[in-house]
Amino acid sequence: MIDKIGNYVYKKFGGDIEYYVKVFLYYSEMLITMAVLSYFFNNWYMAIIGTFVMNIIRFYTYGFHCKKLENCVVFTNIIFLIFGYISMATYKEYLWVAFLLYSCSVRYIWIKMPLELQDNKTIEWHKNGFEKWISIITIISLIFLYFNLYLIVSTILWSVIMVAILLFINGREGV
């Protein structure tokens, strides 16, 4: 269906816009699928908070990308379900494990990033943006921790850990 829409747009408007329409449609499909799955599996917080945190950090680090957009939709939804359950399972007794892995992940991301420079940006631009956002994320996590919002803190921490894991698997062949 999405390919048919893309072909129609290509015939009507040209080649460049076809790509953007397909990306928009796949991204919309991914978000709708994630919303439905998060509703049924009761991990909406990971869908909202995790998507926000992950997209900000991945903007500066790049990370793993699938070769096909269809695979991206499936892979993204699966990984968000897995990390949603991990954050739910660890937010009370094992939050210290999430903080420990978060600290290791921040160091690992700092060493590996950026995998690809974007829009003629420098490495310093990527590193400065990452430093700024990881500082903000850490401060927000500590504020939420102070107010005993453990599930939100766990979700934020596991989102950054998820980015580190996606950086790790980036060296492998994309699916």
Angle at 24 between CA 80 and CA 137, to 5 degrees: 45
pLDDT at res. 4? 57
Match 């439905």 to its residue by tokens. 36
Rounded distance, CA 93 to CA 86, Å?
Answer: 12
Report if pTM > 0.85. Answer: no
Model pLDDT for residues 23-55, shown as the tens digit of each residue: 677 777 777 877 787 788 777 777 788 878 887
Q: Delimit the domains of the chain by residue range.
A: 1-41, 42-171
pLDDT in tens, the chain (175 residues): 555 555 565 565 555 666 666 667 777 777 787 778 778 877 777 778 887 888 788 877 776 677 776 777 788 778 888 888 888 888 888 899 999 999 999 998 888 776 667 667 788 888 888 899 999 999 999 999 999 999 889 989 998 998 888 777 665 444 4
The answer to whether the CB of 161 falls within 8 A of the CB of 105 is: yes
Q: At a CB cut-off of 8 Å and minimum separation 6, what does 57 contact?
A: 109, 130, 133, 134, 137, 159, 160, 163
CA 68 to chain centre: 17
Residue ranges in the chain assigned as alpha helix (H): 2-13, 15-41, 44-45, 51-61, 69-90, 95-112, 123-146, 150-168
**Beta carbons of 148 and 122 less than 8 angstroms apart:** no
